[in-house]
Structure 1
Amino acid sequence: MADKSRQDGHLAQNAAVLLKVAQTMSKLGVAPFPRNYELFFEALSGQNQALTRDVAALGSHPSQSRIEEIGVKYHLPGFAAVATDTIRADTARAISALNHGLKNSIAKKEAFAALLRHFIGRLETDPVAGMSDFANDAGRLRDAVTTFEREERAFAISMGETVAQLGGIGSDIEAMRKASTRDPVTGLANRVAFSAKLAALYDDGNASGPAALALVTVEGLRDLGESHGAATAEKALKKLAPVFRKSVKKNDFVARIGADEFAFVFHDVSADNAEAIAQRIRASVEVVQIALPNRTFTSETLSLSTGIAMALTASSGADLFTQAELALGAVRACGKPGVLVFSAAIGGRGKKTYSPHAA
């Protein structure tokens, strides 16, 4: 009952944020585009403090282009199309400028080559030409060489700038790619990347090997945010992220798939192995001290509830996720952090749920 009340409270809180988003956008005169709702939801939910500050600085009746600059800057998924259009336009301009400069350089090289041929021709066909004529031709050639060198240096500089610009565009594309699969707070994989990973476990319709999926809820994180602010919860997440990374093997996988939810994929493990790994991760989390704002000598700790399902006993990625979700639900229904591996008897006759608080 307590868990359901807490979930109802979170739903009510999200609904309040959505209402505030709509009211704020209307007040500021922001167009009701889906991507704008996404931006203002991120700002008002307080999950990214820097984004919140940038949106607050927009003032009333901000231009759509300014809104899109912020959305692209923070790599929000809804602004990916805008970012793609910007990159495409920047690339086209850079290549067009390079092409124009190259054509101009080639034309000047051809003119310079023609002048050289003329000078050589004079030397070969008129060996007794007057010194004044020779001096005039040599002077024109000298001026042409000077001009040619200057223009070549300018073109080389322009080429370097264009190469740097194209390199920046490449970096932007890579940043977009990473942003589409990375959680901005923790730097871990996000739900999009997790969905791809889950599907890959059943590429040919069968489990690719003895893998385990562990769904995790960080117990106490939501309460921490509600009591001490979103910034404190964000700092907690940033402290947990390296703990999660260090707790898994190189070929394993971890993603943040919700506000306080994470997913792990352990490869080449048995159910007992997966359970032992989950226990170690939980133990590592429980020793992390979360500093509280304006409380120098006070800190809090968090814990994990984990539901595990085995790939070989599920028929698909969706089935595997459902089994892990059921196991997690059974753990949380007990009201104490713990670990549970899915079984057919999960409704009370399943495997023991381990809890550090159990007698």
Structure 2
Amino acid sequence: MTMQVPADAGRSQARQAAIILKVAQSMSAHGIAALPRNYELFYEALSGRLPQLARELSALGQNPEQDALDALGLKHHLIAHAALAADRARAAAQQALADAASRLKNARAQRHAFKDELDHFAARLATDPVASLSEFADDAARLRDAAGRLMNEEGVLQLALESSVHRFCDLEGDFAESRRPLTRDPATGLPNRLALTAKLDTVLETERLDQPLALFVASVEGLREIADRHGGAIAAKALAKLSALFRKSVKKNDFVARIGQQDFAFLCRDVSGENAEAIARRLRQSVEELRIPLPDRAHTAETLSLAAGITVAHAASTSAELLGQAELALAGARGGNGILSYSAALSRNLAKTYGHHAA
């Protein structure tokens, strides 16, 4: 039996293939090394997902240096550049440790030199208690000079250690920044699915669930179609509007993440299932009121809609369980009124439905 590919899926695949071909051609024309991070850089620029990156890449000219390309990838927190950022931070940390070790070695040498002078002075006093005043003065001068060198080296060591402490604090920030692409969606700046899972794990493992905790997963219907029909630049504008709307729609202690091409997740504290449904309805209305303007079409705009699946955490919940429940409710919401809360009955009904179709 021949499987029919939906028209939208076919257009999306063709567009992805065209972008990949354009990436390869552009890299070849500019003499760019075939490194994985360079492929990602050009793909993100040419796909239209990051218009600013595209402009900055174009400004580099015909044959950009690899360092300039890497600087752009690091600036825009691309995933393939996370290892590069970590390697640079690690190298800087190793150099800082080497510098501190060298200072400690010098300080230790000065201490040994000072001890040798003390031992020599003590030995002279023990073997020749009636040494002349001039001989005693010479020994005392050498001892004073050794003490001065030791104090100078101790001062340098203290400054070096203080500098190393500040450097390590900076490097800690660099390491955190290098991990950021792994937990951030580059197109919106929102946390991604990995970050959401980590957040859920932290909340469920370290906090008491005396107050209700609601998770809902929302799908923005129409976003993928905008990308397919009008390209990545228009889709990026739609994403920017959505991410700004979603950030404003949650409380300070709540959490919003982009977990798929058109899927977002909201973790809301002190919110019951009923309240979560009200939040989802308001959010759906706000999304439906958005207008995505199209270039050269002053009186035409694209619109979006939203479907959401909701679940509420309990004491024995796990992140995988909550995400699975919310996504199961979302699957049911798409075929109903657009918003649905998870229940055991819903799980059984959907299992029967999918099982029947699978058979």
Q: Same fold (TM over 0.5)?
A: yes
Consecutive unaligned residues of structure 2, counting only runs of 5 or more, are 1-5, 206-211, 314-319, 351-359
Q: Distance in 1 between matches of 2:294 and 2:114?
A: 73
1:216 matches 2:219 = yes
1:274 matches 2:266 = no
Provide closer, same or farther for how the CA distance between residues 330 and 20 of structure 1 changes in structure 2, counting only shifts above 3 A: farther
Q: Distance in 2 between matches of 1:192 and 1:98?
A: 37
Q: Which residue of 2 aligns with 1:305?
A: 306
Q: Out of 240, 245, 264, which is 1:240 matched to?
A: 245
Provide closer, same or farther for how the CA distance between residues 254 and 228 of structure 1 changes in structure 2, counting only shifts above 3 A: closer
Distance apart, 1:85 and its partner CA: 3.2
Distance apart, 1:106 and its partner CA: 0.6
Q: State whether residues 276 and 310 of structure 2, in contact with CA within 8 Å, keep that contact through their aligned partners in structure 1.
A: no
SS in 2 for 1:108: helix
Distance apart, 1:190 and its partner CA: 0.4
Aligned residue identity for 2:335? A
Q: Distance in 1 between matches of 2:31 and 2:156?
A: 47
- Correspondences of 1:325-340 after superposition (within 5 Å): 325-327=330-332, 329-330=334-335, 338-340=338-340
Distance apart, 1:278 and its partner CA: 0.3
* Deviation readout 1:145-165 (Å, 9 max, x if unpaired): 333333333222222232222
Q: Distance in 1 between matches of 2:165 and 2:213?
A: 47
* Deviation readout 1:324-355 (Å, 9 max, x if unpaired): 44345436xx9xxx535575889xxxxxxxxx
Q: Distance in 1 between matches of 2:215 and 2:148?
A: 71
* Deviation readout 1:14-63 (Å, 9 max, x if unpaired): 44333321221121222334332222111223433453344334444445
Q: Which residue of 1 aligns with 2:328?
A: 323
Aligned-residue CA RMSD in angstroms? 4.5
Q: Which residue of 1 aligns with 2:356?
A: none
Aligned residue identity for 1:82? L
Aligned residue identity for 1:213? F
Q: Distance in 1 between matches of 2:204 and 2:149?
A: 66
Q: Which residue of 2 aligns with 1:133?
A: 135
Distance apart, 1:309 and its partner CA: 4.9
Aligned residue identity for 2:102? H
SS in 1 for 2:257: strand
1:172 matches 2:174 = yes
Q: Which residue of 2 aligns with 1:355?
A: none
Q: Distance in 1 between matches of 2:232 and 2:119?
A: 84
Q: Which residue of 2 aligns with 1:35?
A: 37
* Deviation readout 1:38-93 (Å, 9 max, x if unpaired): 22111223433453344334444445555444434433222333333333333333
SS in 2 for 1:188: coil
Consecutive unaligned residues of structure 1, counting only runs of 5 or more, are 204-208, 347-359
Q: Which residue of 2 aligns with 1:19?
A: 21
Provide closer, same or farther for how the CA distance between residues 201 and 154 of structure 1 changes in structure 2, counting only shifts above 3 A: closer
Q: Distance in 2 between matches of 1:160 and 1:174?
A: 21
Distance apart, 1:279 and its partner CA: 1.1
- Correspondences of 1:239-258 after superposition (within 5 Å): 239-246=244-251, 250=253, 253-258=255-260
Matched positions, count: 328
Higher relative contact order (CA 8 A, sep 6+): 2
Provide closer, same or farther for how the CA distance between residues 309 and 238 of structure 1 changes in structure 2, counting only shifts above 3 A: closer
**Percent pairwise identity:** 38
Q: Distance in 1 between matches of 2:271 and 2:220?
A: 21
Q: Distance in 1 between matches of 2:201 and 2:132?
A: 85
Q: State whether residues 100 and 161 of structure 2, in contact with CA within 8 Å, keep that contact through their aligned partners in structure 1.
A: yes
**What TM-score do you get using the length of structure 2 for normalisation?**
0.69
Q: State whether residues 202 and 316 of structure 1, in contact with CA within 8 Å, keep that contact through their aligned partners in structure 2.
A: no
Q: Which residue of 1 aligns with 2:266?
A: 264
